[in-house]
Amino acid sequence: MSPLREKFVSYLQLRGYTKATVRNYVDPVAQFQKWLGKSPIHMSTESVRQYLSYLRNTRRLAPRTMNIHIYALKAFCEFFLPESQIMAPFRRMRTPKHQVKILSAKQISRLIETSPNLKTKAMICVMYSAGLRLSECCSLRIPDIDSNRMVIHVFGKGQRDRYAVLSPKTLIILRTYYREYKPKEFLFEGKTSDRHIHVRSAANMITLTALRAGITQKVSPHILRHSFATHLLERGESLLVIQRLLGHARVDTTARYAQVSTEMLRKVASPLDMPPPAPDPTDAPAKRRSLRKKRGPGRPKGSRNRRPAPSKSTKKKASRSRKGGTK
């Protein structure tokens, strides 16, 4: 590792970034250095603009991947070129918002029943019943399963820990799995007992299980987490509760599952199918009184003319004018 990269990695670690985030920031800077042909310390605004244009138009990277490159170069400038304004003109790209895909309850049951081994079955049950991310499930340790309180202690994204639900059915499967595999430190061990299973290996196991179950749509491990949140929402659980279970920092992230729930959409009645509200007879006098107040006092009771009756002095003056005027 070069001294420049070592300093950059140390800077990212001091900011509290995880290993995955450090890798996602170091690799784009290394790619930029290879494209530039010299150290990235000599970068300029024009070179960054040309590089981002190359990524977008030639390599045709998605907006999300483009944003990772932008964030990485900004972090590099913040550490090595703090006084420069090289990355000031560049903002994150807008990412398209897609509908979250989920599995039905029947598909989840078929996925669990057709698991090729007990380890895959246990992982699918834990991820779906507790709404865990794949990395959270893979890094679970044996003490994280609290059967007395029926919770799972999860060390999640952004170094935030939380408690997730431990399903009684999942606990039965985990006890059977523990007696057969006898893990020592991590719940789902990898090739060696001192390391957990790799996320890529776990993802391949779940994808192959979905093919075995005859599920035609593409199944990723994260779809189990989406299904967990959507099924809870369909049963009437509060968004705030689901946010706490999923470990979301903002409720806006959890609210997107409300757009997915087809069960909730079916329960909504169209305004065309709803009968118009019947008029309330008790409100009619109140409406007339309110209209009368707005229009003013109106005509005197019993009068037929719009103008008020003339007074006696007015009548005398009118008769004198007809006789020839006043003296």
Which of these, 46, 211, 196, 213, lies nearest to 134 by C-alpha position? 196
The two structure tokens encoding residue 122: 């246990």
Helix axes 222-234, 118-130, angle to 10 degrees: 40
CA separation, residue 159 to residues 16, 154, 254 (Å): 8, 10, 19
List the catalytic residue out of 119, 226, 231, 248.
Answer: 248
Cβ–Cβ < 8 Å for 187, 163: no
Cβ–Cβ < 8 Å for 138, 188: yes
Q: How far apart are CA 288 and CA 305, in angstroms?
A: 22
Strand-pairing partners, residue 145, are 152
Q: How far apart are CA 270 and CA 96, in angstroms?
A: 29
- Counts of helices then strands in the chain (DSSP H, E): 15, 3
The two structure tokens encoding residue 93: 């790209």
List the catalytic residue out of 69, 121, 133, 231.
Answer: 133
Strand-pairing partners, residue 151, are 146, 165
* HSE toward the beta carbon, residue 178, CA cutoff 13 A: 14
196 is catalytic: no
98 is catalytic: no
198 is catalytic: no
List the catalytic residue out of 119, 225, 226, 231.
Answer: 225
231 is catalytic: no
List the catalytic residue out of 74, 141, 153, 157.
Answer: 157
157 is catalytic: yes
List the catalytic residue out of 5, 101, 222, 244.
Answer: 222
CA separation, residue 315 to residues 184, 230, 318 (Å): 116, 85, 5
* HSE toward the beta carbon, residue 193, CA cutoff 13 A: 6
248 is catalytic: yes
List the catalytic residue out of 51, 128, 177, 257.
Answer: 257
Which of these, 159, 171, 164, 158, lies nearest to 131 by C-alpha position? 164
Listed in sequence order, the residues at least 6 apart from 128 whose beta carbon sits closer than 8 Å to its beta carbon are 108, 112, 224, 225, 227, 228
Annotated catalytic residues are 133, 157, 222, 225, 248, 257
